[in-house]
Amino acid sequence: MDIQDIKNRFGIIGNSPLLNRAIDVARQVAPTDISVLITGESGSGKEVFSHIIHTLSARKHGPFIAVNCGAIPDGTIDSELFGHEKGSFTGAHEARKGYFEVVNGGTIFLDEVAELPLGTQARLLRVLESGEYLRVGSSKVQKTDVRVIAATNVDVYDAVKNGKFREDLYYRLNTVPLKIPPLRERKEDVHLLFRKFIADFTNKYRSPSVQLDADAQHVLMNYSWPGNVRQLKNIAEQIAVLEKERNLSAHHLQAYIPQETNPGNLPMRINQDKKEDFSERDILYKVLFDMKRDMLELKKLVAEIIKSGGSTAALSNPNLVQQLYQDADPYADDPAPQPNTLTIHHPDHSPKTDYDFSHHAEEVEESLSLIDKESDLIKKALKKHKGKRKLAAQELGISERTLYRKIKELNLS
């Protein structure tokens, strides 16, 4: 089967040399049992290529299953892939077969394989090397004959260097690398894809056909398409349903294309500062270490106060007051208040009276709850970055997915 036949069979549109090269690699590797690592941005069509490899292989009559590794919680991923025995963990009321047992004799497609925990990576490596695995809670070795096709939208080699992905597993999966080009590198295919999608959707919704003028085609071809083919398809569907004008100009088209704030691929995880992603346990450790650091700083300040001859003399030292104020709130923009005084601002914005609280101070016990501290840190990070969760996650040293989960658990708006 040649490249054009494969395009016709799987509905692939485009004549880009990069696309043709990817199809040719898939066609050549399909008859073998070699593991394949498909790399490409989100929405570029990695799963389509996994179907090409399976359909053109000797396993085409065997089962095929696609597993999104990033969508399965870490605590259950081993059970999903390798199965478990009855009573092996809470909720395991009966034995269950895993995907590697169900797909015996076929092909398993592991999408977002870089999201696998390190322990699961070790289990997967054993399956690839010997075809053996253990169910969760069992000591009996199981055998399977499964071809593994993996895919990811991140740079796995960077993950290897950062200790997030096993090097031996990387080389075992990457026997044949298959790179899917992003849509911005296939500019000659953008208009062809749009015409195909718009024809499909106008026929589906029984709406008039849509045409693009020259300026609209130029806009279409020169947009970076961070969501790749999936984004182009969505925009074609929106136009088919919502647009009243059937001859689109650049002005009409730009109403459906979002403004570019980041020309990269939005769904991909961008590791600019190479910070490690933290688990839920790690963020608790971070809170504890921050508390310990604050206590040490407080002890130093108290020692300075004692050396200065007592609390009254020390509090008259503006440098100590300024330091105490900044330690209490590192994001505060206002200058430190004068010791023992509180300035009241009236509606006309003029300070009227300074009240002395030196003899009426009330000690308030600080909450030492980890949940409260964690909630407070997350609120401060979100406030600092004006609600931008990606930047807040980087500030906290955790992954964006962990931040979403903590916001939901703590009922933070």
Taking the alpha carbons of 109, 111, 113, 116 in that order, is the dihedral positive or negative? negative
* Residue 234 to residue 232: CA distance in whole angstroms: 5
* pTM (two decimals): 0.62
pLDDT at 87: 85
Return the amino acid letter for 50: S
Contact predicate 171/151, CB 8 Å = no
Return the amino acid letter for 70: G
pLDDT at 112: 94
- Give me the phi and psi of 35, to 5 degrees please: -70, 145
pLDDT at 402: 83
Q: Which two tokens stand for residue 408?
A: 């939901």
**Domains detected in the chain:** 3-179 (3.40.50.300), 183-254 (1.10.8.60), 277-325+367-413 (no CATH)
Positions in the chain whose pLDDT score sits under 70? 260-282, 284-285, 308-370, 413
CA distances (Å), origin 3, targets 28, 46, 149, 352: 11, 17, 20, 82
End-to-end CA distance of the chain: 55
Taking the alpha carbons of 170, 171, 173, 174 in that order, is the dihedral positive or negative? positive
pLDDT at 331: 44
